[in-house]
Amino acid sequence: MEFYNKPGDYDAINYIPETHSHGTKELWRTFWLLLGITLLDFIIYFVMPHTAFRNFIFIFFGIVKAYYIVGAFMHMKYEKINLALIILVPTIFILGLITGLLYEGNALTYCK
């Protein structure tokens, strides 16, 4: 198989892929979604009693907001799957670490 990485072919380091606009419609839609979810946070905070289920809702909304910020605003949806995976897979492991340490921390409640 012939490869094309001979020196002098072209400057791979300074290569910039062609970009094109995806329009502003999706961006504004994402903005209204984020604003709506934040307002929902605000309403739930005052309407629902403080329970573990309410905390779960807030964390779930946080992850939904993160999905839209990373996907639409940071253009992750339009990137190659290779790039998405090297960014997202370690982050998912971090979520596991957080869950584990919350559990461990909670076990200390009556030890202190």
Partner 1 sequence: MANHQPAAFEQQPMWAGGRSPFNVSYGKLMMWLFLLSDAFTFSSLLVQYGAQRFSNVQSPIVTKWPDPAAIFNHFPFMHGLHLPLLFVSVMTFILIMSSVTMVLAVEAGHRKSKKEVVRYMVYTIIGGAMFLGCQAWEWSVFIGEGATLYGNQFGITEAGNKVFSALGFGSHFEWEPEYRTAGPVPFAALFFIVTGFHGFHVFSGVVINIVVTIMAARGVFDRRGHYEMIEKAGLYWHFVDLVWVFVFTFFYLI
Greatest alpha-carbon span in the chain: 67
Asked if residues 75 and 47 have their Cβ atoms less than 8 Å apart, the reply is no
By CB under 8 A, tell whether 8 contacts partner 1.
no
Stretch 83-112: interaction string toward partner 1, x if CB under 8 A: x--xx--xx--x--xx--xxxxxx-xxx-x
Give the nearest distance from C-beta 99 to partner 1 in angstroms.
9
Q: Of the candidates 67, 59, 58, which has an alpha carbon nearest to the alpha carbon of residue 40? A: 58
Q: Look up residue 106 and give its two tokens.
A: 């909670």
Residues of span 12-71 touching partner 1 by CB under 8 A: 12-24, 27-28, 31, 34-35, 38, 41-42, 45-46, 50-52, 54-55, 58-59, 61-62, 65-66, 69-70
